[in-house]
């Protein structure tokens, strides 16, 4: 800070110096408080994100015995595999079937049993059940839940979203604070200054690496936001409605429905209707078998690793979906459960441009798009974010006076108002930020302003 102050006093125009100093202080103040509040959350996101990146490798290790089977030439039909699961768990509803994608891989049957969902691993060569996993207890699911919603459901989701939005504020205000005031200066901007004392080094160890990873950090935040519950959902709906996002049913919106064929029976005098059987059995059509669905999936060249969601309602559809490592291989296909007719077949190429961007953003965010290199870069980002968060807290701790928080003073003049206006605009774009601002203001107006000790402590 001293450095910048000295530089700026050299400026000839006194008025503009005061103004830019005011602006600097205003932005610093926002950066300071946002950093202070969201430090723990950003640290959690970095650590859980860093672990989740390696989901494929970790799960391969953890579930090796469930995933792998001995190669045999013989296969058991998908419906027979599902039947084996039904026989073992008679009370269960079968929700999904994921065919084995290579001869050494088990197939997976997703069931729900007493309010829990399980994955049952089946040997596709003989129909034997290898084992089951409680989905909610899977380590990676828990880490994902931590990363996405702090294991606190909707409230957690909103907090993570809030932290992500405020991370943007931190990056932008941080970039402003970092911005070199003097031309042709590299030290303290692009490389840390090691010989200018501990205070300068502490600042540089926060600001310089932060600059280096800021673009990646911003990328992670922006690619993560579309899956957030409030902003992300609204954004996806706007994009889908405008024809530029994901087609409906992939992220938001409903899937097409199967035409319930029983009604046809009434006006057609043949088939089951003429039989003297209870009316509930008089379905003219029956559900297409899972085996035929798998055949259709092959015919439509859906990428390996797809899951079949089995309809649970009369109007439901069979949905084949695959969210492959590479966004370009994604597919979502809805099939009429009574005829197998393709009611929708959406591939990456059918997404609108925004949908393509979001899809690519997701695979890059998750580190799957470019394989191991992608994971590695993601990991470096996570370590970098954790480092910046820690060095930022350290910087604050070093500078913090004993009696107060050490926040920069509210500058005089218009500077604070300009910055506040910009943040308010941001608060409108991201309603959660706006909401948090309103709450801070209420707190400030009703509590902090009225308690002198608190006011002094926060330098308000």
Partner 1 sequence: MNKWKIPGLVILSTILLSACSVNSNADQLYKQPKPLSAHVMLPETIKPQSTQVLEVHVMQENKTVDDAKSVQFKVWKTDAPEKVQVANAHYNGSMYTAKATFEEDGIYYIKTDINARGEHILPTYQVAVDKLSKEDLRSLQPAENETHHHHSHH
Closer CB to partner 1, 277 or 443, in the complex: 277
In whole angstroms, the minimum distance from the beta carbon of 195 to partner 1 comes to 50
Tokens linked to 323: 């969210």
CB of 304 to partner 1, least distance (A): 15
- Among 170, 140, 151, CA closest to 44: 151
How far apart are CB 229 and partner 1 at their closest, in Å? Answer: 13
> What is the CA angle 93-255-114, rounded to 5?
20
- Distance (Å, whole) CA 335 – CA 429: 38
Nearer to partner 1, 17 or 289 (CB): 289
Shortest Cβ 99–partner 1 spacing (Å): 12
Supply the minimum distance, in Å, between the C-beta of residue 292 and partner 1. 5
326: phi then psi, degrees, rounded to nearest 5: -95, 130
428 versus 443: smaller Cβ distance to partner 1:
428
CA distance 91 to 307: 22
Among candidates 427, 442, 343, which has minimal Cα distance to 166? 427
In the complex, the smallest distance separating the C-beta of residue 386 from partner 1, rounded to whole angstroms, is: 34
Cβ 349 to partner 1 shortest distance, Å: 8
Nearer to partner 1, 128 or 287 (CB): 287
Closest distance to partner 1 from the beta carbon of 284 (Å):
6
460 in helix, strand or coil? coil
Closest CA to 317 of 338, 298, 286, 301: 338
- Cα separation of 385 and 213, whole Å? 8
Residue 159 or 290 with smaller CB distance to partner 1: 290
Please identify, using beta-carbon distances, which residue of 142 and 312 lies nearer to partner 1.
Answer: 312
Q: Name the residues that contact partner 1, by CB under 8 A.
A: 73-77, 79-80, 82-83, 233-235, 237-238, 240-243, 247-249, 252-254, 256, 259, 261, 268-272, 274-275, 277-278, 280-281, 283-292, 296, 299, 336, 338-346, 350, 352, 428
Distance CA 198, CA 287 (A): 73
Measured from the CB atom, the residue of 73 and 195 that comes closer to partner 1 is 73
Q: Dig out the tokens for 407 from the structure.
A: 């926040």
CB of 389 to partner 1, least distance (A): 32
Tokens of 199: 């205070």
CA 389/CA 40 separation, integer angstroms: 8
Question: How far is residue 26's CA from residue 420's CA, in Å, rounded to a whole number?
Answer: 9
Lay out the sheet containing 107-113: strands in order across.
Answer: 129-134, 116-122, 107-113, 93-98, 307-309, 317-322, 331-336, 342-347
In the complex with partner 1, the residue whose CB is nearer, 283 or 404, is 283
Strand partners, 164: none
Q: Give the nearest distance from C-beta 266 to partner 1 in angstroms.
A: 14
Phi, psi of 230 (to 5 degrees): -100, -65
Instruction: Indicate the residue among 182 and 263 with the shorter CB distance to partner 1.
Output: 263
Q: Decide whether 240 or 375 has the Cβ nearer to partner 1.
A: 240
Residues with Cβ within 8 Å of 45's Cβ and at least 6 positions away in sequence, in order, are 147, 160, 163, 164, 385
**Which whole-number Å values give the CA distances from 289 to 45, 87, 311, 334, in the listed order?**
43, 18, 11, 15
Burial pattern 269-280, b for ≥16 Cβ within 10 A else e, equals: eeeebeeeeeee
């Amino acid at each position: 800070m001293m450095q910048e102050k000295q530089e700026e006093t050299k400026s000839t125009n006194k008025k503009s110096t005061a103004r830019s100093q005011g602006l600097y202080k205003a932005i610093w103040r926002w950066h300071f408080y946002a950093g202070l509040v969201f430090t723990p959350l950003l640290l959690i996101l970095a650590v859980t994100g860093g672990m989740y990146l390696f989901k494929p490798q970790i799960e391969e290790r953890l579930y090796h015995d469930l995933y792998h089977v001995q190669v045999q030439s013989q296969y058991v039909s998908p419906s027979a595999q599902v039947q084996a699961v039904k026989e073992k768990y008679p009370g269960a509803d079968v929700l999904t079937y994921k065919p084995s994608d290579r001869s050494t891989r088990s197939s997976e049957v997703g069931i729900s049993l007493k309010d829990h969902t399980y994955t049952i691993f089946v040997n596709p060569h003989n129909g034997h059940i290898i084992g089951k996993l409680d989905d909610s207890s899977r380590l990676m699911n828990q880490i994902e839940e931590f990363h996405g919603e702090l294991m606190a459901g909707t409230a957690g989701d909103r907090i993570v979203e809030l932290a992500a939005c405020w991370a943007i504020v931190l990056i932008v205000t941080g970039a402003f604070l970092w911005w070199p005031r003097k031309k042709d200066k590299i030290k303290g901007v692009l490389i840390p200054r090691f010989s200018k004392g501990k205070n300068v080094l502490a600042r540089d160890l926060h600001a310089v690496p932060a600059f280096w990873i800021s673009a990646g950090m911003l990328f992670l935040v922006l690619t993560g936001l579309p899956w957030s519950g409030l902003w992300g959902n609204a954004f996806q709906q706007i994009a889908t409605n405008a024809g530029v996002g994901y087609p409906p049913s992939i992220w938001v919106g409903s899937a097409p429905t199967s035409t319930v064929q029983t009604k046809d029976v009434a006006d057609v005098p043949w088939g089951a209707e003429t039989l003297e059987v209870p009316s509930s059995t008089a379905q003219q059509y029956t559900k297409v078998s899972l085996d035929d669905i798998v055949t259709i999936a092959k015919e439509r060249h859906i990428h390996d690793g797809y899951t079949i969601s089995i309809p649970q309602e009369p109007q439901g559809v069979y949905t084949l979906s695959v969210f492959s490592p590479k966004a370009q291989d994604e597919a979502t296909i809805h099939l009429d459960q009574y005829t197998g007719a393709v009611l929708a077949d959406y591939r990456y190429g059918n997404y609108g441009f925004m949908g393509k961007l979001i899809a690519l953003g997701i695979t890059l965010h998750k580190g799957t798009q470019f394989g191991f290199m992608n994971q590695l870069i993601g990991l470096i980002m996570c370590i970098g974010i954790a480092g910046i968060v820690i060095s930022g807290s350290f910087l604050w701790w070093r500078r913090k006076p004993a009696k107060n928080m050490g926040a920069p003073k509210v500058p005089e003049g218009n500077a604070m108002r300009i910055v506040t206006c910009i943040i308010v605009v941001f608060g409108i774009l991201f309603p959660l930020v706006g909401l948090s601002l309103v709450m801070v203001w209420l707190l400030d107006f009703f509590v902090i302003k009225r308690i002198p000790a608190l006011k002094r402590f926060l330098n308000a």
